Amino acid sequence: MNERATPQQEESGQNEHRLRPRPLARPSVDPASAATFGRPEGVEGSFDLLRGPDTHGRPASPRSAPPPQSLTEAFGRQPGDEEVLLQRPEGQNTDGASPGPGDDDEPLWTADDDPWRDPAAPAVLGKPALRDGAAADSDPQRPTGPLLSLPEVLFGRRVKPVALALLAIIALAIGAGGGAVGWAIATAGDSLTGELNIAEADAAKERPAGSVADIAQQVAPSVVSIEVEAGQAGGVGSGVVIDPEGYVLTNHHVVSRASRDDNAKVTVVFIDGTRTSGEVVGTDPKTDLAVLKVNVENPVVIEVGDSAELAPGDRVMAIGSPFGLENTVTEGIVSALNRPVTAPGENGDPPVTYDAIQTDAAINPGNSGGALVDSTGALVGINAMIRTAGSTGEGGSIGLGFAIPANQAVEISESLVRDGSMRHASLGVNAASVAANTSQGAQVRNVVPDGPAAGAGIEEGDVVVRVGERQVRNAAELTVAVREHEIGDEVPVRVVRGGRALTVEVTLGAD
């Protein structure tokens, strides 16, 4: 017997094959977020209804805060003012008739009466709304002022016609005069050049102040060429005019023949070709300087500079007569300062030693006695010696030239003009360099009896390494270091004896 399943069994069987809903996922809540966005304490629903004792569970209407007291006093009704309401004029209806029954509920405006007061009127940009029967007024005519005349436009004020006519006549006269001048110039130009149109230019160069050409033009008239004739022998050198009385400064070796031979002839040649005889005033063989005297009116005198202000790298120029080529100009720089140089004397003269200015300006035989000038054209040295590559000494410049500093040369020349000779400070020793091409000092070979060095206790074999504040590296530097002082000066001299350094005080004598 088949039994029919009950509805409850059928329903339970169907539910067994259905998917049940997933459980709700409730993630943990951050305490900080819950404190910020959660419900306030004591609130269970979505909103906290404001309840009052008379609302009986209904939300209370929020009330706005009363206006400030200042606004109430400014815009509120004053005590005693009657309340005024918008209303029609008394005794008039919307159409101008007397009010009838039921007119109290009608609006205060009508579309035909006043469209500006009708809130239902469309907002259209058009002509101004006019009441019926009103006509638009025509635009008022603006008053026109007086028109400006031509004088007022040109000059900003009224001008008399007579003055304006006179001004026009003056302008025409000036224009006619300018045209006549232009025509005259054009006519004259055509008569000079003929029918050819030739562009001509003057052959000239710009020579700004301080250029080599400008300085050479200034200095050249004060630099002379010196010619010496002694029998069958002769020589050519250079000189510089240093005094308006006609004193010429040059090297001793240029006029050494004339200083020994009274029959020798010295001729001084100026840049303009003037030739005059020169007389030897005095010479200083130890520093290779000499002074001549010439009889010339108003000679051009060179400006003497300060050689102590020179620095290596300064621009200098040498002007003289190398190999007899008068007024030759060469340019270079100061290569070194305080360079002790020495050379053997001529014909029995003592050795030549001085503190030189080294330059790479080209100096050749014949430049001796010429000027070494700075970038302003001032005399800073007397060119005297060159270093050559050949063993015979007949070679030309290799960029190693030496000049006597102007400060030293001028001091010696003043003594030669005044006394005819020059005396130098002396230590009273004969010395030689410890070793060639070294800077170990100057070794004493012999001591002059009863001389300054002997009185101070300096002995033969001592090596002098310092005189005063100057270091002594060789025999030539010992000589120039002593000559930097005056005769009679007490100078500390540092010597090395047997490997031990000693310092003695020496009172310098005269050579």
Catalytic positions are 253, 288, 368
* 3-state SS, residue 225: strand
Q: Which two tokens stand for residue 266?
A: 């010295």
Q: Residue 359's beta-bridge partner residues? A: 334, 401
Q: Which of 226, 484, 233 is nearest to 370 (CA)?
A: 226
486-494 long-range contacts, CB within 8 A, separation 24+? 486/425, 487/423, 487/424, 487/425, 489/425, 491/467, 492/466, 492/467, 492/468, 493/427, 493/453, 493/456, 493/458, 493/464, 493/466, 493/467, 494/464, 494/465, 494/466, 494/467
Q: Which of 428, 430, 422 is nearest to 404 (CA)?
A: 422
* Cβ neighbours of 132 (radius 10 Å): 6
* CA max distance for the chain: 183
Q: Residue 379's beta-bridge partner residues? A: 304, 373
CA distances from 456 to 10, 51, 360, 453, 503 (A): 148, 126, 42, 5, 10
How is 389-455 classified by DSSP, letter by letter?
A: SSSSS-----S-EEEEEHHHHHHHHHHHHHHSS---EE-SEEEEESSTT--S-EEEEEE-TTSHHHH
Tokens 């009330």 -> residue: 63
* Cβ neighbours of 113 (radius 10 Å): 14
Query: From CA 414, how far away is CA 422, in angstroms rounded?
Result: 9
In the chain, the amino acid numbered 450 is D
Structural element, H or E, at residue 72? helix 69-75
Write phi, then psi, for 494 (nearest 5 degrees). -100, 125
Write phi, then psi, for 280 (nearest 5 degrees). -75, 120
For the chain, first and last CA: distance in Å? 168
Contact present, 270 and 261 (Cβ < 8 Å): no
Q: Where are the beta strands (DSSP E) in 461-499?
A: 463-467, 470-471, 490-497
Q: Which two tokens stand for residue 61?
A: 């209407």
